[in-house]
Chains A and B, each alone.
Chain A
């Protein structure tokens, strides 16, 4: 022994010390440049030495299967037929399979017949309970709830921010296709098309479907009527409410405007405004980055 083992150990430390500079020597000042394709080397099996991710300037992108809090898939906002339509049919499987029981769903009913309508009236996830296990996404038969990749959710106040409602949970299908391209394709093949399972089924049934769709629209119109008195004090709502059913049919997203009193039912305008704001923010961010 006589300290030889100790000296050998110190040599290992020295090697690690030297290794921390390997990248610096190899890439020089271009080490963090996004143009140089060194990131994969640094994060892969060929890397030598320390491999710090310079977090806010460069971020590790997440693999497809990564799961953070869930989100709800809705049709793209520029979808030709039903923009922003929920994929969720409020079947309740996610709420049942959720281990810590952090999902609350209100099934919506036709106000006249009382029959359930296949879309949720409200949907809440308490992200202070959610354990990110991904069961909701795994067991959802309609591919309507998915695990998000956005982990930047810190906030200063949890009572107002940490119960996600439907508005906050909803994200376009387009988004799912960007964060999980392979899985989106696999799911599309399983469903038989890019559209929602029910929409496909309806399309396959052809003629019979038209009647059903009309019926659904009818239900929606009736719902708008039923909700109209609730929103009476709001002047705009009064103006909107007496719209004939046909017009509502033409623009389904506008119908819930009458129900603006309910916080989880955002109006079409609001959704548009939100979209615009998001785009503006994005542009500003891009401009900032460029400038």
Chain B
């Protein structure tokens, strides 16, 4: 089943949709006329109606990203205000309808869109947590990444952490008069802490836990509850994580159980919230590339790709811009597809862990992963944190040979021809591993009986919850960005979108399996392209202190875990366009958790870890 780009005559282009929208709401929708910006600005009080219209009449049924921007002292584009930016897509394909709503900074409040798209739930909580925008009508507006009781909203431009040194990198203290003060020495407490000066230590309590459990109806008298036989029952609250071997990192779930059946589940995250976006706004555009490696650290190549695409969109707005060469694109696709295979091998292996096949399958699949990582190490320099892509280029071309050199005592050298290595991997080893995986698991009775019919998510719900990647395609929605909104050289490559209609864990497993096969199919088409583009330049011409034209861009790729998007705003006065004004990551691992509670309701507690495993999250990306 091949999805082609939808016929614009049938569904209408974005311009048609915007014209339609403006006709329907003449007073409340206006074009965004700022330099380099697109989409429309919607007045805050009509936001809910406009959103319903966009979803129901214009058929933009998929809300990809919702994020806030703080325009404090920006100066070039607009006065101080807060802005929510929404990107909506049609699941039949095509590009985004961008709409924005503005609000005052002091009394930041906007209507919540959770009633229209439930996928906005976590994203609005994040905007409340980090930006302090209140969402009217949100069912559960609590902090999500920081803890309840934390002082301030850290992503606001006027919020400075204790180790704050200056607004933008590079810091002046590094050169020419560098000093070796560690950041700790700037603060008398010796660590990155900052207390309000009116701190009241006598009334200090850890509110985060009690609030969480109160939200579960603890304290409500449950003694009168009886089951169908008239026996008095009680509900039990079980906490899982953040230290739990099956949560794929430091994720936490709090569940209310009736017997063994889950009646309510709430994900708790932020245990790996390492302030990627705040640091990203201080970094220069180039600095951010190695930081993106650490988002989804299983497939760093894909993370690089999404980010460079976003920045290249911005660069294309300027006068001097040379798009990446064909070989660059070929190399990017090669790397991204290899890391998709790595990602799926890892995901399936650990999902089997969660099903109870403790570590045996993982170890089988990790063997193959190691060889791919060897290749990454030889080409990009690191096994995991590849830092390979640059704006308009890549770090370096493939080396002639994958050759290691003697350095330490007892070193054993490896030496392979790169192309031969790739050919053997792509034509033989990887397909063999996938076949073995298929033989090992697909028909296994245990896998089937554990996973079929469990963790069900319907197609409508999957779209409404903004699910992405195998989670969405496992529910029967053939939405793959490589086909729906193509980028790079994917239009000319021949591959199918993997889709399964059952919507359960097994369907997601099958999607991953098929997708690996499709990746191999793509890689086989990449090999001849690598041969005949030999010698083409792949280096980037972007200087280390390069400036980026003003505007906004949203670059998105189909990463192993789903749609990975980067919303980058270049604003502020011209001097500071070396640093992004806003840098937001639309993380699939984060948004795919929105339906977790929905999927787990009514299932047994033993299936929870497996359902979580079938979503396939990585905490670096969830918490950023």
Q: Is the CB of A106 within 8 A of B412?
A: no
Q: Which of A4, A63, A101, A139 contacts B443 (CB 8 A)?
A: A4
Give the complex CA separation of A267 and B445 in angstroms: 72
Grouping DSSP codes into helix (H, G, I), strand (E, B) and loop, the B interface class, with mixed when no group exceeds half, is mixed
Of all chain B residues, the one with the shortest Cβ separation from A13 is: B360
Give the complex CA separation of A46 and B432 in angstroms: 12
**How many A-B residue pairs lie within 8 Å, measured between CB atoms?**
204
Q: Is the CB of B405 within 8 A of A43?
A: no
Give the complex CA separation of A60 and B410 in angstroms: 9
Instruction: Give min CB distance, B421 to chain A, whole Å.
Output: 6
Give the complex CA separation of A122 and B415 in angstroms: 39
Of all chain A residues, the one with the shortest Cβ separation from B422 is: A45
Give the complex CA separation of A2 and B290 in angstroms: 50
Give the complex CA separation of A106 and B180 in angstroms: 10
Q: Is the CB of A51 within 8 A of B404?
A: no
Contacts of A181 in B (CB 8 A): 405
Question: CB-CB contacts of A83-122 with B at 8 A, as 1s and 0s?
Answer: 0000000101101111101011111000000001000001
Contacts of B10 in A (CB 8 A): none
Interface flag for B446 (CB, 8 Å): yes
Known contacts A44-B416, A131-B290, A135-B290, A66 near B381 by CB under 8 Å: yes
Q: Which of B405, B439, B448 contacts A179 (CB 8 A)?
A: B405
Give the complex CA separation of A43 and B424 in angstroms: 13
Binds A, one of B168-176, B496-504, B586-594: B168-176
Interface flag for B204 (CB, 8 Å): no
Contacts of A6 in B (CB 8 A): 444-446
Give the complex CA separation of A181 and B377 in angstroms: 17
Contacts of B379 in A (CB 8 A): 65
Of all chain B residues, the one with the shortest Cβ separation from A151 is: B408
Interface size, chain A (Cβ < 8 Å) = 70
Q: Is the CB of A50 within 8 A of B175?
A: no
Question: CB-CB contacts of B386-419 with A at 8 A, as 1s and 0s?
Answer: 0100000001100110111111111111111000
Instruction: Give min CB distance, B400 to chain A, whole Å.
Output: 8
Interface flag for B428 (CB, 8 Å): yes
Known contacts A12-B439, A61-B406, A178-B406, A92 near B377 by CB under 8 Å: no
Q: Which of A44, A152, A180 contacts B414 (CB 8 A)?
A: A44
Give the complex CA separation of A43 and B412 in angstroms: 10
Interface flag for A272 (CB, 8 Å): no
Instruction: Give min CB distance, A262 to chain B, whole Å.
Output: 13
Known contacts A92-B175, A96-B170, A63 near B290 by CB under 8 Å: no
Instruction: Give min CB distance, B168 to chain A, whole Å.
Output: 11
Contacts of B173 in A (CB 8 A): 104
Q: Which of A50, A63, A106 contacts B176 (CB 8 A)?
A: A106
Interface flag for A149 (CB, 8 Å): yes
Interface flag for A204 (CB, 8 Å): no
Q: Is the CB of B178 within 8 A of A95?
A: yes
Q: Which of B177, B287, B405, B441 contacts A149 (CB 8 A)?
A: B405
Interface flag for B297 (CB, 8 Å): no
Give the complex CA separation of A98 and B282 in angstroms: 13
Interface flag for B78 (CB, 8 Å): no
Give the complex CA separation of A19 and B329 in angstroms: 38
Q: Which of B395, B416, B442, B443 contacts A138 (CB 8 A)?
A: B395
Contacts of A217 in B (CB 8 A): none
List residues of B whose CB falls within 8 A of some A CB: 169-171, 173-180, 182, 283, 286-291, 293-294, 360, 364, 367, 371, 374, 377-382, 385, 387, 395-396, 399-400, 402-416, 421, 424-425, 428-429, 436, 439-446, 448, 544-545
* A-B contact list, 19 entries, CB within 8 Å: A5-B445, A9-B444, A40-B415, A57-B410, A65-B380, A66-B404, A95-B178, A99-B286, A101-B171, A104-B180, A105-B175, A107-B175, A116-B176, A131-B385, A132-B385, A133-B289, A135-B286, A135-B544, A138-B395
List residues of A whose CB falls within 8 A of some B CB: 1-6, 8-9, 12-13, 16, 34, 39-40, 43-46, 50-51, 53, 56-67, 90, 92-93, 95-99, 101, 103-107, 116, 122, 124, 126, 131-135, 138-139, 147, 149-150, 152, 163, 178-182, 285, 289
The 4 A-B pairs at the shortest CB distance, nearest first, are namely: A5-B443, A104-B178, A133-B290, A92-B175
Add 12 more A-B contacts to A124-B178, A135-B287 (CB < 8 A). A5-B445, A9-B439, A45-B429, A63-B404, A64-B404, A99-B286, A103-B174, A104-B178, A106-B176, A126-B180, A133-B289, A182-B403
